Amino acid sequence: MITHADQQKIWEEEHKNPYVLLPMDSNDESSGVSLFWDWLKSKGETKSLRGVEMGCGKGRNSIWLAKQGTNMRAFDFSSIAIDEAQKRAAIVGVENDVRFIVQDATKTWPFENESFDFAIDCFASTDIESTDGRSFARDEFLRVLKPGGYLLVYTLSTDDEFHKEMLEKSPAHEKNAFLHPTTGKFEKIFDRAELMNFYKKWKVVEEKRIAKVAKFFGEDYNCKHFWIIFQK
C-alpha cells in the first residue's frame, strides 16, 4: 500500500524529470479550465474574482487565470513544482496576481474561511491516495469558498480506456484506483455515482463529459473525463 510520503516523492521526481505526465509540464492551460472560464463569462461572473487551485503543479492553469484578470492562490506539495511556477509567473508578468505556495492538500490550508469566489481541482484529487485525504481536501474547498462559490472538478473516468486498462493490470488498495506501472504513482478514477455521493453536500450547476484522445506510452487512448461545476 502506497503512503502519502511515497506519493509526494514520486511527484517530486516527475516534476524534476517529466516523463509520464508531460501535459503537467506544459505552459498551456487545461482545456477544462478554459471551458470553466468560458462558463463563468457566459454568466457574467468574471470581474474581480479571487480563485484557488489545489495541486497546481507548475502553475499552468493559475497563471492563465491570472492573465484573464483573476487574483489567484495556488498550491502543491511539490517544492520543485512551486519553484518553477513562481518563475513562470514572473516571466509572463503576473507574479503580483498569482501567489504560489508549498502546501499539502491533506493538511489545513492557510486561507481564511469564505475567502474565494471559485476553486479548481484539475486532476488533483485523483492523486490523493486515501479516502480520508480526499475527503479532507473536499471539506477545505467547502470551508474556503464563499457562499454560492463554484468548484470545478475535472477528473478521470472509469470510461477512460487507458485507466480502465490500468485498473485490470495494476489495481491499488481501493476500488477504482491503480498504481502506475512505471512510477508506482497512485491514481483514483471515478464513476458518476461515486462523484455524486462524494459531493452530496454541493449543488451541481453544470456537468459535461469531455471526450478526448490522450497518448500513453506512445499509444492513443480515448478518454471521457468528468467535468462538473459544483456550487457551495
pLDDT at 160 over 70: yes
The predicted structure's pLDDT at residue 142: 98
pLDDT of 226 strictly over 80? yes
Q: What is the pLDDT of residues 55-84, one digit of tens each?
A: 999 999 999 999 999 999 999 999 999 999
Contact between residue 71 and residue 50 where contact means Cβ atoms under 8 Å apart:
yes
Beta-carbon count within 10 A of 22 CB? 10
For the whole model, what pTM was predicted? Answer: 0.94
What CA–CA distance (Å, rounded) separates 192 from 127? 18
Domains along the sequence of the chain with CATH: 4-15+47-231 (3.40.50.150)
